Amino acid sequence: MKSVIKAALVGLALSLPASGAFAQGVSDSRVATMADWAVFVESNPTECWIVSTPKESVHTRGGRRVSVRRGDIYLLVTFMPSKNVKGQVSFVGGYPFAKNNPVKIEIDGKSYMLPAIDGEIAWPANESEDAKLVAAMKKGVKAYVIGQSQRGTITKDTFSLVGFTAAVEEAAKRCGG
């Protein structure tokens, strides 16, 4: 599973402008933008993903707000037909996550855990969890992603889900998901 996510992120990184702010640049692999979500398609092999950046990020340590420096922050859903991946959710936090401390996504008062962590990337434990999370994201308006860094900083990133359904359906259509 890690290699699938890493492959998608490498493709994402290569398609982003040097600034890392995908919404502000032009990419050859971006095929659509649906409100707050962008749809990307690569060929050889065919891979599709949707991605968004947070609308707000709050950082706390010991209950107090703190300033931190983070790398790029993305919430993604990936489709890779050649690896039978259909709707894999992943979160890139922009910092190394604390070990054995899953990342949590909250949508409409319900929590979903992303226990699989590799450095700055987290994802659900299995495909059925991906499917539940995608279904919740289709119905929701906002997703709150809460993680903890190796240094103990708690991050809460707020993602808009406006355009999510149209974007995920477009990516699924283009990649047979």
| H or E, element range at 61 | strand 56-61
Q: What is the pLDDT of residues 92-106, one digit of tens each?
A: 999 999 998 999 999
pTM, two decimal places:
0.86
| Mean per-residue pLDDT, 70-91 | 95
Fold of 2-174: Immunoglobulin-like (2.60.40)
Nearest to 73 by CA among 101, 55, 54: 54
Query: What does the domain layout of the chain look like in residue ranges?
Result: 2-174
Q: Which among 168, 134, 149, 140 has a CA at the least distance from the CA of 73? A: 149
50: exposed, middle or buried (C-beta count within 10 Å: 0-12, 13-18, 19+)?
buried
pLDDT, averaged across the chain: 87
